């Protein structure tokens, strides 16, 4: 990765990290002090919320998002 690539803004990455930070705030998690279990929970909650947001923006059905800690949607 070049320095230019590192500093270029990626709108999807920005959306993902906005949701990540909101998830940490919602559940009162300080990432650097979180246990592995809490981190796994926040990562999964963020993934689901991000994929649901992306599905809404693209017009895809929410049922296409893999459920929380679940099997892929059919």
Report residue 72's pLDDT band, with 50, 70 and 90 as the boundaries: low
Rg of the chain taking only CA atoms, in angstroms:
14
Q: Where are the domains of the chain?
A: 10-64
Placement of tokens 């895809």 in the chain: 60
pLDDT at 71: 64
Reported pTM: 0.79
Between these two residues, 25 and 62, which has the higher pLDDT value?
25
Interval 1-55: pLDDT, tens: 677 777 788 889 999 999 999 999 999 999 999 999 999 999 999 999 999 999 9
């Amino acid at each position: 990765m070049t320095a230019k690539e590192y500093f270029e803004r990626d709108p999807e990455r920005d959306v993902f990290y906005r949701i990540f930070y909101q998830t940490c705030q919602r559940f009162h998690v300080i990432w650097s002090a979180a246990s592995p279990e809490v981190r796994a929970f926040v990562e999964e909650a963020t993934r689901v919320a991000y994929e649901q947001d992306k599905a809404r923006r693209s017009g895809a059905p929410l049922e296409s998002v893999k459920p929380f800690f679940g099997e892929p949607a059919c």
